[in-house]
Amino acid sequence: MSDRKERIFILIEPGERALSTRKLILEAAGYNCLSAMSIQQGSKFFSDERHIAGVIIDTDVHDVPLGEAIDRFAARNSTPVFLLAPHPWPPDEARGRIAAVFQKMSDPAEMVKTIAEHYGDPPGPSGY
């Protein structure tokens, strides 16, 4: 896939404000994004949508243990899992099992830049 619009991400965060902000940032960069407030809801989207490019999980979502959530999403076609965390390193149960960690308080443009680099996408109109 070369077109960003063909890439669909599931963004799982417990808070509506952060969720909608990150979703808007990803969509402004040209990606499609489904938002969920729980792993269960994200899993439903994941099973309904055949072409998920990646899943972004906030480490504050606790309805399913993080290791189990990573397994659930990565099992199908090795879908990349990214984490949103309060620090720039993954929790122990995620080490070596995720594509990247995005620090929650960092510039959201860094998240978009990392995702674009991961998929080999060219920089978007705003440079990411």
Q: What is the DSSP letter of 122?
A: P
* Rounded Cα gap, residues 123 and 49, in angstroms: 26
pLDDT score of 127 more than 70: no
Please name which of 55, 21, 23, 54 lies closest in space to residue 39, comparing C-alpha atoms.
55
- Whether pLDDT at 3 is above 60: yes
**CB neighbours (10 Å) of residue 96?**
5
| Residue of higher predicted confidence among 76 and 93 | 93
pLDDT band at 77 (very low <50, low <70, confident <90, very high): confident
Q: Tokens 């906030």 belong to which residue?
A: 58
Q: Which amino acid is at 126?
A: S
User: Which residues lie below 8 Å from residue 117, measured CB to CB, with a gap of 6+?
Assistant: none
**Mean pLDDT of the 77-90 span:** 93
Backbone phi, then psi, for 13, in 5-degree steps?
-140, 145
